[in-house]
Amino acid sequence: MIAELALQEMEPGSLARLFAAGHAAVLVHCPEIIAALWRGLLEDTAEQMPWEAPLVDIARNYHGSGDITASLGDLFYFQPGRHGYIARKMALRRTEGEDHVIARPGWFAQGPQRYTPDPALLDQCWSIGARLMAALTPAGTPPADFEVVVQRLKYQESGGDMDRLEALARNSLGRWGRTGCAWDERRWQAAGMLSPRGLSDLYGMLAHAPGLGRMAQGINRMLQRRDRSRDLAPGQRLIEGAHFDHRYFSALCGQRTHMVTQIFVKEQWVDLPIDRTMLAVFPGTMAMHSYGLRHVMHRVLHVEREANDGSANPRTDNVTLLIGSA
């Protein structure tokens, strides 16, 4: 189900073989590399992270798109049951003849100043991303043209703070925008035969209709009981709804006390170990289309827990570092 691999054992095609053999994820042990990336990407206080920044700096650094997966820069996404994070996202590309990789965006506003990431650090990100991409590519397959993506995702420690951030995002919209948010919340709850696009849109509207709404919600509750991908244990709160990443792979590490990432395997949710000693790697939709590797459904949950000690660090706690390719 979940395989393990030391970094020195990772060679071209090795991840592809493990995924083709039926493993849903691979844990690549590389503590030294993660420690170096973590220091450079999260512990360098010369860089202001978006969850420490004034809202106007987030807006200045936002390079948005109608497609959430294509947005870069600083992002603020709070949609109940669908998204719940503040993030900084970059895309890296190496061009032949260039000494260093090219990053998009190339700098970030910090008040009246700019922060430019260290080129050597970006080269490190590219190096591990390209090595993972080579391991994902099946033997004999021509190498794909790709970018390495680097994402730092911050989740909130408390459910109450998430409620407040969701309310803040929702109330910044006009009346019809708030209505659309309410429809979206219902649409994302659509299960079974109601879950495909189109039918879920219809359910989202009907669920709020007088009379018909109660009946539609009753049918959906019945479908939810039969849909194991909707299961939640007591004390769990859905933050990132079940989805597939639209990239070749995602490799996760992080420092998380209240967040749990799960993968859906054999009709059940399985916790994916995520820490700062290994990269948890699983294929995305682009790997399925290009290489025939099964993409992996996953989700992110919040679990209320007592703090272990007094060493809380708001800058790095409940942060996920994602390296991927697209």
Answer yes or no: is pLDDT of 177 > 90.
no
> What is the pTM for the complete model shown?
0.91
Q: For residue 193, what are its two tokens?
A: 């035969």
Within the chain, residue ranges assigned H as helices are 14-20, 31-42, 55-60, 119-136, 159-171, 175-189, 199-206, 212-226, 285-291
d(CA 43, CA 95): 29
d(CA 295, CA 209): 36
Q: pLDDT tens for residues 192-211?
A: 888 888 888 888 887 888 87
Which position has the higher pLDDT, 298 or 233? 298
pLDDT in the model for residue 307: 59
> Facing residues of 149 across strands?
91, 324
pLDDT in the model for residue 61: 98
Q: What is the DSSP letter of 2?
A: E
Q: Please state, for a pLDDT cut of 90, what percent of the chain lies above it.
A: 66
Residue labelled with tokens 């390719």: 325
SS3 202: helix
Is residue 128 within 8 Å of 3, Cβ to Cβ? no
Which position has the higher pLDDT, 294 or 212? 294
Contacts of 71 (CB under 8 A, 6+ apart): 62, 63, 64, 65, 89
Q: pLDDT tens for residues 236-257?
A: 999 999 999 999 999 999 999 8
Strands 102-104 and 108-110: unpaired
d(CA 177, CA 92): 34
Answer yes or no: is pLDDT of 311 > 70.
no
Longest dimension (CA), the chain: 66
Judge if the upstream peptide bond of residue 105 is cis by omega within 30 degrees of 0. yes
Is residue 25 within 8 Å of 272, Cβ to Cβ? yes
